[in-house]
Each structure stands twice: as C-alpha cells, then as structure tokens.
Amino acid sequence: MNPESTSEVLSALRDAQKRLTDLARPFKDAERCLKELSEPRTRQDLKKVGVLLSRLRALPPVQTELAAELAPLVETLEAFVREQERSRPLYFGRSLREAAEAQGVAFSALTSEPPEYRLDPFTVGADFRKGSAELRYARLAVCEVDLDPEALLKARLKMLEALQTKDFCPELFFDRLLTAYRRVLGGRAMGERINLVDLLPEVAFLGQSERFRKDPSRDHYQPYGRVRLAWDLARLRRSGSLSRKGLRLGLGSATMATTRNKEAVLFLEDETGRGQYYLSLWFAPDPASQGA
C-alpha cells in the first residue's frame, strides 16, 4: 500500500470528520434536551424545564447540505481507490521482496492473475481490493493477515514453527499411517486403496498425547488437520522412508474429475511449491524387500 496516498486520504477523512462533528453538535444537544423534556419527572420540575428551553433557544443555527459537505471527500476517496488499484500490486510485490530478502527468506512472484507469491515454504495469495493476504500451504489457507509484508513474514515464521516440529520421526510416522490405514480397512485385504480424507481422523487420533487418551477433552486435544497431514506426508517422501517392515506406502493421484471436489483430495508439494493432488493411500508388500 502506498503510504503517501494513504496519508493524504487519512488527512482528508479526519478533516471531514471534524467538520461533520462540529455540524452535528447542535443536533446532539437538541436531542439530549428533548429526551429530558420527554421524561414525566422532568416536566414536574418547571425550573428544569425552563433551563432546558433556554438551552434549546441558544442552539446555533445550522444550515448545511450533507451531500455537499461530503462531495469533496467522496471525490478524494474515489481517486484514492483508482490510484490504489494501479499501484498496490507493484508496490506490494516490491515491498514483500525487499522484506523477505532482508530476513533471508526465499521469495518469488508466481502469478499476476490471481496475484500469488512464494514465501518459502508457503504461497501468498493477495487480495488488493480487500487489503488482505492469505498464507497457504498445499493450496490450503493457513491464515489471513493484513496486506503488509512484515505481518506476512511474522505469520510465516509462526506457521513454520508450528509445522516444522523437531520431534518428527519418519519411521514413527510411517507406523502411525499404517495403523490408521488398518483401522480404516476394518479387516479388508491389505493393498486396498482408501481415501486420504478418511484416513485423516485416525491419524489425528493416533497422534494425541497420553493425557488426551486419559481425558479426551478439548483442552487436551492437539489439532491435526489437512495442512499438517500434507506437510508430514511431504516430509516422509523427502526422507525416502516410504518402505518399512516389508511394506511400501503408495499414493494414488487424483483424476481430473475428483480434483473438482477439493475437500476430497490433498495437494502434496515439493520444495518449490509444485506438486499434484492425491486422492488415496495404501500399503502393499514391497517388491524390493521380497526380492531380498
């Protein structure tokens, strides 16, 4: 956002607000007097009635056309909107790049329509008319902040710290997925595909603490949603730990038809933010293990 044009508009708004406050003061004084006069107890006190009538007579005359008073401000604001629509994308992109580089965060401009940027490992979607930006991972909204580079970088760091847990163990996560998979299978044959969205509740439950298991209340629950599952699956793939205990984890790509329903699929990213949508997961005997 261009600070110079914003400062000019703020000054115009304050001037108009002060002018209208001064114009409205006699009306507010008259309203207070009339409200008091409408009270039965007030009308019993003729002395007080006289005081209130004196106040009403002393009110200054007010002659103004509201539309005429606001017309200059409306013109200023309309010019501000036109100027911001032109300047915000360029100014914001440049400011975000400079702020990211100052903090050593990898930045790139991805698309102009819709406007998207890369703040590794997240994507930023900017809404210039609304004045807000959305931080995303796996094409899912992580949080929404003001259209401000520093606010975005703070949100990025906070979300990164929440996702990049130091206690992540690929082998343990593999076992957790396998247990969740078997639960969803419910006795069906290994190797059968199950939808990732059906697996998520079981993975979330298996990741809860012993405290939650003893007292499964909201205060003890550790959130585990779609973003976290996509993050952990990406970490598992990068670690090269898709095979274990003679089994190999498989991921089924989503078709063009299934990707229309974004709630039924999960987008898995690589280090650059590229990737694809997946629909299903399964475990099957690992051929490499059998050959050995």
233-256 pLDDT tens trace: 999 999 988 999 899 999 999 998
- CB contact at 8 A, 218 and 212: no
- CB contact at 8 A, 253 and 279: yes
* Radius of gyration from C-alpha coordinates of the chain: 31
**Range 191-215 average pLDDT:** 92
- CB contact at 8 A, 138 and 229: no
Quickly state the pLDDT bin for 183 (edges 50, 70, 90).
Answer: very high
How far is residue 66's CA from residue 71's CA, in Å, rounded to a whole number? 9
pLDDT at position 63 is 73
**Range 263-276 average pLDDT:** 89
pLDDT at position 49 is 84
* Least reliable range by pLDDT among 27-41, 56-70, 151-165: 56-70
Whether 71 has a pLDDT exceeding 60, the answer reads: yes
- Residue with the larger pLDDT of the pair 110 and 70: 110
- CB contact at 8 A, 54 and 48: no
Please give the share of the chain, as a percent, with pLDDT higher than 70: 97
